[in-house]
Chain A
Amino acid sequence: MARISIERKHIFVFLLIVIATTATIIIYKFHEYKPLTTYTYYVYDNYGNGYGIPMAFRADLRKANNVSIYPDIPSVYNIIWNPDNRNITIAFANSSDNGLVAVDAFEITYKLGVVFGVYNMTTNFTANVISSYDNITANESYPVIALIPPSMTNSTSVLAINNVIYIQGNTTEGFDLATIKFLMSVFDIKVG
């Protein structure tokens, strides 16, 4: 049987390669991008005691943070938290994306509803099927959130115009992200 001899310097090189590979993997894992889908939202009770509540979302909040918003976050925030806000209408048009619209409409209504409950707000929610996204009218007491799914838009954004908030996404993920961007704006969620 032939005898294999390994020189000491070969062993040293092999060990160097192993160490470098391991270090690379560790560094990669450390810096690997992880979706952020849960955020701890802080509310305050009647006595000023704040407590954090984990709140989960359908998609990555960091990605959602990049969705454009017009004119700005405070405009969206102020529409929803207007003290005269009595009823929010969720408006949408019939489309092949009804399922997706339902899911995101539920996310909006449920999360807003829960937080409204904490602050004893009596704002109601109403669903409304519309034939067109044109000429939607709203006011401070009766704002409208118009959901525009991928089959009906080519862009992903949140727009606030005359007490109507348009949430639109050109893909399923984009629509989810726009919805989350809206909720981040309303709940003042900031991610790095």
Chain B
Amino acid sequence: MNKKINASLMAALMSILTIAVPALAATNLSDYPTFLLATNKALEAYVVVGSAALTSDVVGAIDLATTLAQAAAVPVSVPGTSADISGLVRDGISIGLTSTSKLSTAAGSLTAFPTTNLTSLHYSGLKQSAVVWTGDGASYDYREQVDVVGGSTPVYVRHDLNTDKLNGTVKLVVGSGSIKYQYVFNKEFNFTVKDATKGTIAAPQYTYPLKIQLLGKDFTLVGVGATSIKMLSGATGTATATRSVDYGNYKFYAIVGSTNAMQIDVKDVNDNFVETLLFTGLSSGTVSTKSTTMTTPIIDVSITAFGTLTDGTVIGADLVIGPSGTTTKEYDSTADVESTGVASDAFPGAPRWGISYLPNGAGDDRKIPAGSIIQVAYKPSDTEYVKAGEKISLPNNYGDLKFVGWDTNNFATITIKPYGSVSAYTITNKTTLALSEAYGFEISSDVPGSIGSTSGNYFDKAYILFGKATSANNYPVAVGFYDKVSGKILVSDSAPGVADTGEYKAQVNASSAAFTYNFTLSYGGIGETSFRISTSFTTSAAAAVTVDRITVGTAGSETIVTGFRQKATPTWSTTSAPQFQLGATSGSKDDYEVNVTTEGTSENCAGKTQEVVDDSGILVQSTSDSTSNNALVSKIPSKALAVKVYFGKESGTTTTGSTYNQIVPITTAVAKLDSEITTTEKAKNLVLVGGPCVNTLVANLATAGKFDYTCANWPGSNFAIIKVVDDGFTTGKVALVVAGTRAADTRLGTSVLQLYNQPAVSGKLVGTTVTVTGTTVATATITAA
């Protein structure tokens, strides 16, 4: 019985908790519009307008519809595949502000490649290990390292506009010896430990050679001189009559032998006989080499050691097999890759990589001092220019140096172009015409909210407009911004008659008066770095405009200089505003219509068909198009532009993903009049537009004490209120109220919701209630109540 009671109590408690827990979490406006959407993004709410609605409620409903429609589309990702990179990856490398910028040169405070050699600490494919020499059974430590930043010709990162093959594009400049692989002897090696008479260039030690690997390929060190070493390389192995050593398309069998002779048969991949190589005069401790005559290409076969029985059976023959003239080589410090045959120092299979020996200090016969290096250096016939997406691979697929791209994929395209004729309206009353038939400049961005005013508000489009003269020597100039809500360009209320020095700057110039304004550029208004468009104009007594400056770049040191200027006609008068063009002639190339600074020097960038990277990290798009379009188009990065490079290997391939929007069900007609609302609709979330005087559902909430104001006690101040009411009409469902004192206030409230994710609003919609005062969203005061 007690157990039953306990079970019942626990069940009751669980039920209470189940009901109570959701109620504890109050809905927050910061989650708008998510709390109105179902998990599949379908709108799970009715938008309710009072039957006696005002025009502002109509406009507000349209604003809300725009936002909710955008939120209702579900982005469906088609994922790309990204390659896994093992090795050193750095994306803070400078784009190259000088001709000697290296992979170790950081962009600002970002992180670049180390100034030292790359080792196993950076890429596990590089070894730090030891080999055992059969001559004494001891271990000899070594390390592998790669040098891309040292020496007289390191890998440079450059983007000079006037250098051939760079042409303003950021590239890795790889010259002869820029990339060096090094095998470093950590410990001295000395052939004399085993035999003081062998181990020189002239008298190699074939019986007890030192076997090492360079770039993963087998080499057999048999002799050391003061400045050179002798090594065998190629396919190695032990052959018998039934076990082959293979090279290319051929197999090599040791058929029969004696104490001083050996028959090697060559067969193709299908075991068809090709030819026989007969070695005579063999002796222990020497190496004998013969070349094939019937194979393509000609192949050298060297026997370094062998064993036979008295009946001629071959116990084993140690073979080194490779292209003619390559199996036994002497390497000095030259790393000659231009010569052929025996004189060539090319790494097997990699003709542009040369092997050299670099003794540490004074070299010696038979002895390699500790710290000495066997180096394999890249020696291209001409300097190579590696652009984004390209790489240089070390021989034997041992690793790659790849220019991946930029440190960011986010860029906003900014367009500056002459604009007009256009009308502009005042900020406060958006229907009052301030300027008509005005001309000037439009600055636009494809990423919303990337153009900032002097007050820190961000817009999609900005303007500098020149109106028709209001009278002699009264020439109006005004800064305008595009208002998405009204679809109009808004300028100062005082334009065109009175000066305004604020965010919406305006003035009426007399002769020889200057007008300046600086726009901030920031990716979406939230970029980690910002740039500036600096403008300056002077009006002259001849009713003309001199474009003193329209420059783009880092604030205070803008390095992209445009050549916008006033058209010859029409003149600035009471009947016409001045018009503008890029360069001396409209639509055709003129020198210096665009100048950019690359590697510290300002260069004429007119008529370029390629993208040019400015020192500030702005990507100037084809100025050839700029000429034809009379516009400067550039891309600003979301963060300080830097180069991303890796050394190592990547597995798999990278493919670009894509996204498309999937429509969500619209399962009910979402808009209703308050008179149409029944208990059925109240069981859903509700968005109530309008105050208690015009919307009976808001009045009902007020009567129930769930909304702050009734129609009778609505405050006298001009403001809008946005309030989310949990359990408004049904438990678990919200009612979102948007209401204002005047029509303009209600409109401001819905505009704030429409622009909920824009910089001017984002972060200010918090809590359950906010009040909004002001005239525009950009300047509105949004206060949590």
Residues of A at the B interface (CB closer than 8 Å) are 37-38, 41, 43, 45-46, 51, 53-58, 87, 89-90, 92, 94, 96, 98-118, 120, 124-129
The answer to whether A117 touches B49, judged by C-beta atoms less than 8 angstroms apart, is: no
Complex Cα gap A87–B76 (Å) = 26
The answer to whether B65 touches A106, judged by C-beta atoms less than 8 angstroms apart, is: yes
Which of A53, A94, A112, A124 has a CB less than 8 Å from the CB of B665? A53
Chain A contacts of B665 at CB under 8 A?
A: 53-55
Q: A175 to nearest B CB, angstroms?
A: 12
Chain A proximity mask over B644-679: 1 for CB below 8 Å, otherwise 0? 000000000000001011111111111111100000
Complex Cα gap A51–B663 (Å) = 9
In the complex, B73 has a CB within 8 A of chain A: yes
Complex Cα gap A124–B65 (Å) = 11
Q: A30 to nearest B CB, angstroms?
A: 27
The answer to whether A99 touches B51, judged by C-beta atoms less than 8 angstroms apart, is: yes
Interface residues of B in 667-720 (CB under 8 A from A): 667-674, 689
In the complex, B485 has a CB within 8 A of chain A: yes
The answer to whether B667 touches A56, judged by C-beta atoms less than 8 angstroms apart, is: yes
Say whether, besides A101-B58, A118-B661, A124-B484, A55 and B53 are in contact (CB < 8 Å): no
Chain A contacts of B53 at CB under 8 A?
A: 98-99, 101-102
A-B contact pairs, 20 of them (CB 8 A): A38-B667, A41-B663, A53-B664, A92-B58, A99-B57, A105-B61, A106-B62, A106-B64, A106-B670, A106-B671, A107-B671, A109-B62, A109-B65, A110-B72, A113-B68, A116-B69, A117-B69, A117-B73, A124-B66, A129-B55
Q: A97 to nearest B CB, angstroms?
A: 9
Say whether, besides A98-B55, A99-B53, A105 and B62 are in contact (CB < 8 Å): yes
Which of A58, A89, A118, A128 has a CB less than 8 Å from the CB of B671? A58
Q: B229 to nearest A CB, angstroms?
A: 60
Chain B contacts of A58 at CB under 8 A?
A: 669, 671
In the complex, B349 has a CB within 8 A of chain A: no
Complex Cα gap A56–B60 (Å) = 22
Say whether, besides A54-B667, A102-B53, A117-B663, A125 and B70 are in contact (CB < 8 Å): no
The answer to whether B62 touches A124, judged by C-beta atoms less than 8 angstroms apart, is: no
Residues of B at the A interface (CB closer than 8 Å) are 43, 47, 49-55, 57-66, 68-70, 72-73, 76, 78, 484-487, 658, 660-674, 689
Q: Chain B binding site: helix, strand, loop or mixed by DSSP?
A: mixed
Q: Quick one: closest A residue to B669, CB to CB?
A: A58
- Beyond A105-B61, A106-B671, 20 additional contacts (C-beta under 8 Å) are A38-B667, A54-B666, A56-B666, A58-B669, A96-B52, A98-B49, A98-B55, A99-B674, A102-B61, A104-B671, A106-B65, A109-B62, A110-B68, A118-B660, A120-B660, A124-B484, A125-B62, A126-B485, A127-B58, A127-B59
Chain B contacts of A129 at CB under 8 A?
A: 55, 58-59
The answer to whether A117 touches B667, judged by C-beta atoms less than 8 angstroms apart, is: no
The answer to whether A45 touches B662, judged by C-beta atoms less than 8 angstroms apart, is: yes
Chain A contacts of B673 at CB under 8 A?
A: 99-100, 103
Chain A contacts of B43 at CB under 8 A?
A: 110
The answer to whether A105 touches B670, judged by C-beta atoms less than 8 angstroms apart, is: no
Chain A contacts of B57 at CB under 8 A?
A: 98-99, 102
Chain B contacts of A101 at CB under 8 A?
A: 53, 58
Between A89, A99, A114, A115, the greatest number of chain B beta carbons within 10 A of the residue's beta carbon is seen for A99
Complex Cα gap A116–B120 (Å) = 54
The answer to whether A107 touches B69, judged by C-beta atoms less than 8 angstroms apart, is: no
Q: Quick one: closest B residue to A95, CB to CB?
A: B55
Chain A contacts of B487 at CB under 8 A?
A: 87, 89, 124, 126, 128
Complex Cα gap A163–B486 (Å) = 19
Q: B48 to nearest A CB, angstroms?
A: 9
The answer to whether A98 touches B54, judged by C-beta atoms less than 8 angstroms apart, is: yes
The answer to whether B62 touches A111, judged by C-beta atoms less than 8 angstroms apart, is: no
Q: Quick one: closest B residue to A105, CB to CB?
A: B62
Between B43, B47, B59, the greatest number of chain A beta carbons within 10 A of the residue's beta carbon is seen for B59
Q: B34 to nearest A CB, angstroms?
A: 17
Chain A contacts of B662 at CB under 8 A?
A: 45, 51, 118
Q: Quick one: closest A residue to B487, CB to CB?
A: A126
The answer to whether A56 touches B669, judged by C-beta atoms less than 8 angstroms apart, is: yes
The answer to whether A114 touches B670, judged by C-beta atoms less than 8 angstroms apart, is: no
Chain B contacts of A90 at CB under 8 A?
A: 62
Chain B contacts of A109 at CB under 8 A?
A: 61-62, 65-66, 69
Chain A contacts of B76 at CB under 8 A?
A: 45
Chain B contacts of A108 at CB under 8 A?
A: 65
Which of B63, B70, B663 has a CB less than 8 Å from the CB of A53? B663
Between B54, B670, B671, the greatest number of chain A beta carbons within 10 A of the residue's beta carbon is seen for B671
The answer to whether A127 touches B63, judged by C-beta atoms less than 8 angstroms apart, is: yes
The answer to whether A99 touches B63, judged by C-beta atoms less than 8 angstroms apart, is: no
Q: A86 to nearest B CB, angstroms?
A: 10
Say whether, besides A98-B53, A98-B57, A110 and B670 are in contact (CB < 8 Å): yes
Chain B contacts of A94 at CB under 8 A?
A: 55
Complex Cα gap A64–B702 (Å) = 38
The answer to whether A127 touches B50, judged by C-beta atoms less than 8 angstroms apart, is: no
Complex Cα gap A46–B78 (Å) = 10
The answer to whether B486 touches A126, judged by C-beta atoms less than 8 angstroms apart, is: yes
The answer to whether B668 touches A110, judged by C-beta atoms less than 8 angstroms apart, is: no
Q: A180 to nearest B CB, angstroms?
A: 9
Complex Cα gap A117–B60 (Å) = 20
Complex Cα gap A126–B747 (Å) = 12
Q: A164 to nearest B CB, angstroms?
A: 16
The answer to whether B670 touches A107, judged by C-beta atoms less than 8 angstroms apart, is: yes
